[in-house]
Structure 1
Amino acid sequence: MLEEIPVSNNGVPEPEIAQASKPVSRMRLVLSRLRSTPRFWVGVIGLGAVILWAAFGLIPNQWNYTDLDVYSMGSSPNSVHWFGTSDIGEDIYAQTIVGLRKSLVIGLLVGPIAAIIAGIVGAVAGYLGGWWDRTIIWFIDLLLVLPSLFLFILLSPIFKSLSWVALIFLLAGFGWMIMARVIRAQTMSLRERDFIKAARFMGVDTWTIIRRHVLPNVSSLLIIDATLGVGGAILSETTLSFFGFGIQAPDVSLGTLLASGQGAAVTRPWLFIFPAAILVFTVLSASLVGDALRDAVDPTSGVNRD
């Protein structure tokens, strides 16, 4: 005998009503918004293609970025040198890939590191309050008013003698302040919630509350900040290297390639166009992903542009 399914007054089976009224988790809602956002997929595909090309692009190429072809100096793109060569016979294709690798590593590390610093500092200031909050905010405001570019220039002689890894921590050290203020404001709201008060009344220590309850509730903001920070870090590194204050020879980055090719942008445009196009494409892809994430987490952050 078939089981009779209860039906509501409007003819809809009650199990379907219960399933339809079941609340959707925040993660599923964000993923649903991302799936219906074309610019997210454009950014993910573009950024993924750039990373794959940087990782495996040298395999089909017979030239290393340090090789010199004395028989083909300053040549235009051809079947042997796909992006052409420099004045001394360096393969621009190989140098572009190696420079892209360096810029990607810096960007993919600086963004998350700056987001982690912002999350910790902002959560501590917002949760502890009092003189902790006043001291941290004073320090953040001080860093915000300091001209970071001039500080980079002043510190560049010190970092020239160090590895390019030092540039990662320098860029991350000046890229967390704005998001830290946002996290502080969110934390000040969270600490008045019932679950935070309950944990405090149960004797849970401050650092455990911040780690288990505060940071997970602001993680979406930190993910967005880390994603958007990738493109910003790549641009910052390129700018510093372009002016001679970032990556130093014999290392190669997109900034050093643009600096060496700017003088020949008209007479030998392949020296400048290829690194510049890769830089624009990479930063645009990372920005599209971060922009889509921001709108998916907070639909009120901007109008729907799709």
Structure 2
Amino acid sequence: MTGTLVAARRVVRRPGVVVGAGGLVLLAVAAFAGPLVLSYSHDQQNLGAILASPSPAHPLGTARLGEDMLALCLRGLQKSLLIGLLAAGLTTVVSAVVGTLAGYLGGLTDRVLMIVVDILLVLPPILVVAVLSPTLREQSWLVLVLLIAGFQWMVTARVVRARARSLRSAGYVVAAEDMGASTARIVTRHLLPQMVPLLVIDCTLNVASAVLAEAGLSYFGFGVQPPDVSLGTLVATGTGSALTFPWVFLAPVGFLAATVLASATLGEGLRDDEVHR
């Protein structure tokens, strides 16, 4: 427990960790608690205030049908954060399991898993999504989570595999094997705990990349579908008005940039702590 407290105190002394974590917490609170205190819902139309500029009644202005931009952005941020967090978590789990099994077991298992990794690395994600888009349009946004995670885990799996191969000959692993421990026990009790710092850093950075991936896919019409909204769909909708009614475009872009920067800053802060440990 003392060691954990010491590590936690060391981590929170990193400015990047404090700024990044604080930013993510504030964004999450705004996304999930903000709509509860706003006087407008994200789908409430006000035909008397169409494309109104920012004002005390509408701090970020209104959209094409009079929807409050702040309410829309908070709703979009909520969906983008959910997709980013779920996709990053799933990516980390898959890369940890595949990389550890490939590195520890070696042989045929390693070759087969690495062939799968190589094939997925070669496939262009946007082309796959374009081919599948007619089917995806009718599916839940959870399918988008699976799709994003499916194209993000490969590089991390290779890093985990290299780490697992180096630990395969460690004394405690060899001792566990001599005592008859199963593969599952060795992987879960002796190998994966050694990967935790790497996986935490990777998961944090993957949140930023997953949010960007969702925004890109939604921008091109492959992601979140109407009537639901995400930051990507709001950016896409506001692009045509970027010069005439800039708040419709800049508001979601600002929330998207803040989310990506907070996640990336937290990840970089954790990585710096790991490097200087």
Q: TM-score, normalised by structure 1?
A: 0.87
In the TM superposition, what are the counterparts of 1:45-124 in structure 2 within 5 Å?
45-124=22-101
Higher relative contact order (CA 8 A, sep 6+): 2
* 1:270 paired to 2:209: no
Question: Do residues 297 (structure 1) and 274 (structure 2) align?
Answer: yes
Structure 1: state its 5+ residue gaps: 1-23, 301-306
Secondary structure at 1:68 match in 2: coil
Q: Check whether the contact 1:30–1:296 (CA below 8 A) recurs between aligned residues.
A: no
Q: Distance in 2 between matches of 1:35 and 1:253?
A: 31
Task: Give 3-state SS (helix, strand or coil) of 1:297's partner.
Answer: helix
Unaligned 5+ residue runs, structure 2? none
The amino acid across from 2:130 in the alignment is: I
118-127 or 86-95, larger mean C-alpha shift: 86-95
- Measure how far apart 1:26 and its partner are: 6.8
Provide Cα deviations, 1:1-36, integer angstroms capped at 9, x if missing partner. xxxxxxxxxxxxxxxxxxxxxxx9875564344233
Tell me, yes or no, if the aligned pair for 1:30 and 1:297 is still in contact at 8 Å: no
How far off is 1:60 after superposition? 2.8
Q: In 1, distance between residues paired with 2:12 and 2:26?
A: 19
| Cα separation, partners in 2 of 1:142 and 1:107, compared to 1, 3 Å | same
C-alpha deviation, 1:223, in angstroms = 0.8
Letter in 2 for 1:181: R
- Aligned residue number for residue 265 of structure 2: 288
Change (3 A) 1:183 1:112: same
Of 78-87 and 269-278, the range deviating more from structure 2: 78-87
Q: Aligned partners of 2:233, 2:240: CA distance in 1, in Å?
A: 12
- What's the Cα RMSD here? 1.5
Match of 1:154 among 107, 131, 135: 131
2:21 corresponding residue in structure 1: 44
Q: How many residues align?
A: 277
- CA deviation digits over 1:73-114, x for unaligned, max 9? 111111222211112211111111100000000011111110
- Distance, in Å, in 2 between the alignment partners of 1:72 and 1:50 is 27
Give matches, 1:119-158, under 5 Å.
Answer: 119-158=96-135
Written as runs of structure 1 = structure 2, the 5 A alignment for 1:14-33 is: 27=4, 30-33=7-10
Separation in structure 1 between the aligned mates of residue 214 and residue 9 of structure 2, nearest angstrom: 34
Identity %: 41
Do 1:140 and 1:177's aligned partners in 2 also have CA atoms closer than 8 Å? yes
Structure 1 segments (4+ residues) deviating >4 Å: 24-30
Q: Output one character per residue of 1:113-153: Cα deviation in whole Å (capped at 9) or x when no partner.
A: 10000000001000110111111111101111111121112
TM-score when scaled to structure 2? 0.96
Secondary structure of 1:218's aligned partner: helix
User: Among residues 130, 133, 146, which one is paired with 1:169 in the alignment?
Assistant: 146
Say which SS state the counterpart of residue 264 (structure 1) adopts: coil
Partner of 1:218: 195
CA separation in 2, counterparts of 1:44 and 1:213? Answer: 29
Report which of the two structures shows the higher radius of gyration computed on alpha carbons: 1
